[in-house]
Amino acid sequence: MRNDGRSNNQLRNITVRRHFTNATPGSVFIQAGETIVLCTASVDESVPPWKQRTGEIPTGWVTAEYNMLPGSTSPRKARERNKVDGRTNEIQRLIGRSLRAVVDFAALGPRTITIDCDVLQAHGGTRTLSITGGFIALVDAISSIAELKSSETPVLADSVAAISVGILKGETLLDLDYTEDSRAEVDLNVVMTGGGHFIEVQGTAEGKPFSREQLDEQLRLAEEGVRQLRVIQRDALGDDWPFAN
């Protein structure tokens, strides 16, 4: 039994509140245990200059930004005003890559959707929770574009969610909180589609190397977690869920 009473294959309690703010078409408050992230999705009817190639049919773009607010950790995290640090840059690029993996840019058209993930409270798994909540915000942003409602070509090919897995004291655990993550012998972050395809696997042995069997067990557990997250995403979106099942 873990420090919060969960079994090894159990997610933290997850709360999702859509339309948390009203300034953007997508706005999702998502909480897993003590980790809280606000994911917003904004639509800009233009694309980055590098996508504006003469003679080509214009296609859209999805990008992401990630930030940990100063009060999200203790001691206070300094505010990033002029330049993001290496960790922040790596995480926001991961979020962007993960969401872009399921987007048809031609169907989206010449517009940009920006997903902003702001960590309100950090207690492990901020990057994975940002991806899971960011996808819900992305769906709401796409649904807000009137032009796309009559299109026969779907913008999204599949859902996306992410989860952490790891090994602590020889036990394989799903959805590590900070107390587990900070002591884990192995730490993996896994991003997958709802259909079971991998988008990204980030894994590190913090001490001794781990075996192929241990890797396979962690990936199996991650797949189980993503299946559960897809159900949570589907329930949160209700009638706005963009897929048949």
**pLDDT for residue 50 is more than 90:** no
pLDDT, average across residues 232-244: 96
- State what percent of residues in the chain have pLDDT above 70: 99
DSSP string covering 69-83: -GGGSSSPPPP--SS
pLDDT, average across residues 145-162: 93
**pLDDT for residue 53 is more than 80:** no
Report strand pairing: 112-121 vs 160-168. Answer: unpaired
Cα→Cα distances 235→84, 212, 245, Å:
34, 35, 11
Residue 143, C-beta contacts closer than 8 angstroms, at least 6 positions apart? 25, 149, 240, 242
Higher pLDDT, 206 or 132: 132
At residue 139, the pLDDT reads 98
pTM confidence score: 0.95
pLDDT, average across residues 40-53: 89
pLDDT-derived band of residue 54, with 50, 70 and 90 as boundaries? low
Query: What's the CATH code, domain 14-156+227-237?
Result: 3.30.230.70
At residue 114, the pLDDT reads 98
Higher pLDDT, 83 or 64: 64
**pLDDT for residue 110 is more than 80:** yes
Axis-axis angle for helices 86-100, 126-143 (nearest 10): 40
**pLDDT for residue 84 is more than 80:** no
pLDDT-derived band of residue 88, with 50, 70 and 90 as boundaries? very high
